[in-house]
Amino acid sequence: MRDGGSGGAQDDPAAPLDESDQTRSGPAAPEEDDSQDIDGEAEGSAAAATQDGGGSTAPPVEAPRPSEFQVFYPDVHIDIDYESEEARASVSGSLAPHHRQVYIVEASAGQEFRAELEAPSGVWLDVRKGDQVLLSDIERPRLVEGPLPADGAWRVSVVSTSSETAHYTLAVEMMPPRPVVYLTFDDGPHPTHTPEVLDLLGRYDARATFFVLGRLAERYPELVQRIDDEGHTLANHTWNHENLDGMSRSAFDDTISRTQEVLGDRAAPCLRPPYGALDRNTRGWAAGHGLDVIMWDVSGADWLDITATEIAGRVLNRVADGSIVLLHDGGGNRSRTVRALEMILEGLSERRMRSEPVCLPTSEVP
C-alpha cells in the first residue's frame, strides 16, 4: 500500500482538482447535508462433487469420520506445480486395514479443487480444514471437487475401512490461486447508493471494505448491519470527514473514538484519512487506537465529472493482484459509480480476479 494524494470537496464537481492542495485541505462535510460531495480523494498512486461430478460448496457440517481405532500415518505435503500445464500432483501408496494417510494441500479461498482416488472398495476420501468440509453426494466418495471455502492448509485424507491392505493412487488438481483485489468504498453509508453497491457485490460474490463516517453509521444502523451481515467489513473514516492533517491530538482522539464506538465489535482495525490527508502524527496516533492507516493505489476518481465508463476504465486499466481500489458509496450522487461498479466487477470476473476485504475484524484474522 502506498499513500496517495487526495482531494477535497468541490462546489463545482466538474471543476478540475488542484492536486497540490489535495492532501492539505478540504472542508469537512456539513453536519446535515448527506448529498454534498465531501470526499474527492485524488488518485494515488459444493460442497462438492459427486462421483459423477457436480455439487456445491457446503458450510461446516458433519461428515463421516473414521472409527476411533483408526491409525494415522504421518502427514505428507503435496506441492502443486502451477507452472505445469496440468497443475496437478499424483501420489500412490498402500494402507493397512483401518489406517488413513493425510495429504496437506495449501490453497486459497475459492480455488477450484479436484481429488480423485483409484482404490478398491472400502477406501475413500475425506477433504476438510478444521470444521469446514468439502462433501460429496455419496457417503464415502472417491471423487471430491469444487471451490474450497477457506484459505489455508486442507487435509486430503485417504481413509481405509477395509479389512485388507489396499493399494491406491491419489490425483489432486487445482486451478492456480485467483488474483485478489481489494475494493473499498468511502463516505457512506448512503440510503440509496450503499444498497445498490451491496446488491452488485452480492451478485458477483465479491467482498469489500466500507470506510464509513461515524455520524452516518449512527444515522443508518440498518445499513451498517447489512454490510456486516453480507460478509463485508467496516472501518473508520472519521466522524464527519475531518481533515486529519494538522489536527490536534484531542480532536483526533474524539473523531476516531466516536466512530469506533458506533461500529463496536464490527469495526475492523483500520483507518482511512479523509482526502488521503495525514501528517507525521497520524499513523502513530491511529496505532494508539489499534488502527492501521490504509490508503489505495488505484482510484476510479469518481468524484470528478466523468462518465461511468471512464470510472471503470481508470480501475480496470490499472488494477493488478493486490491492488487496493478507491471508490465511493456516499458523499454525493454516486449513481455513476454504481454503473461503473458493474463494469468493474464484470471485468474482474473475466480476469478471474476475486475481491476481498482489505481489513478484517480482529476476530477474523487467521
Q: How far apart are CA 102 and CA 127, in angstroms?
A: 9
DSSP letter for each residue of 159-185 = EE--SS-EEEEEEEEEPPPPPEEEEEE
**With DSSP H G I counted as helix, E B as strand and the rest as coil, what are the percentages for the chain, rounded to 5?**
25, 25, 50
Q: What is the pLDDT of residues 195-215, one digit of tens each?
A: 999 999 999 999 999 999 999
Which residue is catalytic, options 34, 39, 186, 297?
Answer: 186
Using CA atoms, how far residue 73 sits from 90, 151, 183, in Å, is: 18, 24, 43
Q: What is the mean pLDDT of residues 304-327?
A: 97
Residue 363's pLDDT band (cuts 50, 70, 90): low
Residue showing cell 468440509: 133
Q: What is the mean pLDDT of residues 25-34?
A: 42
Instruction: Locate the domains of the chain by residue range.
Output: 71-174, 179-364
Residue showing cell 451498517: 224
Structure confidence at residue 26 (pLDDT) = 38
Structure confidence at residue 361 (pLDDT) = 83
Q: What is the pLDDT of residues 122-161, one digit of tens each?
A: 999 999 999 899 988 888 999 999 888 888 999 999 999 9
Collapse the DSSP code of 22 into the 3-class scheme (helix H, G, I; strand E, B; otherwise coil) and give the result.
helix
Quickly name the fold that domain 179-364 has: TIM Barrel (3.20.20)
Quickly name the fold that domain 71-174 has: Jelly Rolls (2.60.120)
Collapse the DSSP code of 280 into the 3-class scheme (helix H, G, I; strand E, B; otherwise coil) and give the result.
coil
Residue 104 CB burial class (10 angstroms; 0-12, 13-18, ≥19): middle
Q: What is the pLDDT of residues 32-61, one digit of tens each?
A: 445 445 544 444 433 333 333 333 444 443
Query: Active site includes 328?
Result: yes
Residue showing cell 494402507: 95
Which residue is catalytic, options 237, 302, 328, 329?
Answer: 328
Using CA atoms, how far residue 333 sits from 37, 39, 166, 173, in Å, is: 7, 12, 66, 46
Q: What is the pLDDT of residues 274-293, one digit of tens each?
A: 999 999 999 999 999 999 99
Q: How far apart are CA 165 and CA 202, in angstroms?
A: 49
Structure confidence at residue 79 (pLDDT) = 82
Residue 177's pLDDT band (cuts 50, 70, 90): confident
Residue showing cell 477433504: 127
> Are the beta carbons of 44 and 74 closer than 8 angstroms?
no
